[in-house]
Amino acid sequence: MAATMQVQDLGRVQEIARVAAANGFGHVFNLIGLTAELAPGKTDMESGPFARRLRQALVQLGPTFVKLGQVLSVRPDILPADVLAEFQTLQDRVPPMDIADVRKVVESELGLPLEDVFEEFDPTPIGSASIAQVHRARLRSGPEVAVKLQRPSIERMIRSDIHILHSLAQLFEGRVALPGIYTPTAIVREFDVAITRELDFLQELKAAERMGNNFANDPDVVIPKVFPRWSTRRLLVMEMIRGQPMSAYMVNQASELSKNLAHRLMEATYKQVFDHGFFHGDPHPGNIFVTDDGKIALLDFGVTGMLTGAMQDTIITAFTSLVFHDADAFSLVVYRAGATKGRIDLKEFRDDCERMMTKYYGASLDDIASPTTLVEVFQLAQRYKIDLPSEFAVLSRSIALIEGQLRALLPGMDIVEEVRPYATRLMTRRFSPERLAHDMARAALQFQGQYKDLPTHVNQIMGDLEGGRLTIVTRDPDAARLRDEMRMGVLRISLALLASTISLGALIFLAAWSPAPFGIPLFGLLGMALTVVGASLFGALGVHVLFAWVFDLDMWRRRLFGVLRFFSWRRSS
């Protein structure tokens, strides 16, 4: 639905600038022409660490920005390690809705009185956050359930803030250097996609159903059942899981129970990544329960990731080469999995990979400092400007959370020895006769198709060559810059010649200064006028040399687009 920005959004922009100034980031807004002054009574907190001040600013700006930090906290490809660590502590503490508002939300979503759906409904929430809160209830059909309901006005507020973020990102583009490999607009676009998915509970329902189907026959993993009949975009009803969070078992004291739980957790992770290609994107200890009968229960599927067959093959090769200390294979598969904008030194990259891998041998889980394995891989790829798929970033953060729990469950255990059986299983499966036969058959089919089309392609090329329609184009990456420099050089030379000619003419006319008919020195006045014109041209030449960036049309086009987007936008109904 087309809409225009509300007037109060301009006040929100000024509020964002004031909070930025209070945390030492006011100069960033000054770059785009926005005044970022401290609010009355506020003090500048720029003396603290950068990451901490950034987290403080997000908390002060409210739920949308806290959620932005939480979404980015699982993206090591976007943010550096110190900012990730701060963002992982973000909590959106908001007072819960009262039961009257809860009833209104439930009844408006289901179109039925609350009592017609639930036999029991606990008015006190078991969890409350900025987007939603969760209540314990019991359906009239019997099952005990957890009811997750969205706050009624949260989507409108988030949409307004996201529009502002899009507009600001356009203005910041090219003027602010970020620590990762993403631009401001790309980060806002990623956040927009993530929050849109999180605001739609039906997406979470589908993810829970898919995860439940994947683990339907697993005796050690429990996925809560969902109830599509009573679920909507803003209301999600799922089975209540009885048990304790995994954090209750992290006592840093190895026991048979903790070892058993650790291996069940590793097995569940292995199956998600390598068997199903669909994994939990935020498996922190609060989202993993241990049921009363000792099973692993996965909760909250707002963040999930999917892996294609090619991605799984990449991860398998990287994982096995890491475990078996093959730096050549590891560096090559990471390089091929990503995209680079320029040439990188593969030998130097391989040496850095080997140095990273060496420290994991003989080290225990509790000896390995953060960042953990895959997060460190992403940071290494960032250093070499290798842009890995975003799914790998979510997976790396997921594995890092799992490693943290294993560190508490299995203190003192050798990480490489613990995962070696899984690597061996992967190698066996990867090079099994069935897999090799499948790969050979697929390669033969691809070759057959290409071979069948080869004569047609050759005839097409020969026909184009004979008819003079074949054109070979070469591209020089520096040609555009050289062309711009030549254009500017020609302009400056032209200005210099014109200014010199006019100035010389002015001197000739001034030399002929004498009274003319009627007593008017026409030649002198003309000489003075030409002197002014010549001086102006010399001044224009100086301005063009010293301030060439002002004449960058692409920059002005980007600024104009940012301003137009700020005052005209589209909002989903």
Active site residues: 282
User: Which residues are within 8 A (CB) of 312 and not within 5 positions of it... i.e. 6 or more apart?
Assistant: 273, 274, 277
Q: Is the peptide bond preceding residue 224 cis, with omega within 30 degrees of 0?
A: no
The encoded tokens of residue 535 equal 């001086």
Residue 165 backbone phi and psi in degrees, to 5: -65, -40
The encoded tokens of residue 384 equal 């070499």
Pairs from 174-181 (Cβ < 8 Å, separation ≥ 24):
174/555, 174/558, 175/31, 175/32, 176/28, 176/31, 179/79, 179/80, 179/83, 180/77, 180/78, 180/79, 180/80, 180/382, 181/77, 181/78, 181/382, 181/385, 181/387
The encoded tokens of residue 427 equal 């190698």
Round to whole Å and give the CA distance between 192 and 165: 10
Handedness of CA 505, 508, 509, 510 (dihedral sign): positive
Q: Compute and round to an integer the Cα radius of gyration of the chain.
A: 32
Per-position DSSP letters for 26-84, written without gaps between them: HHHHHTTT---PPPTT----TTS-HHHHHHHHHHHH-HHHHHHHHHHTT-TTTS-HHHH
Round to whole Å and give the CA distance between 383 and 381: 5
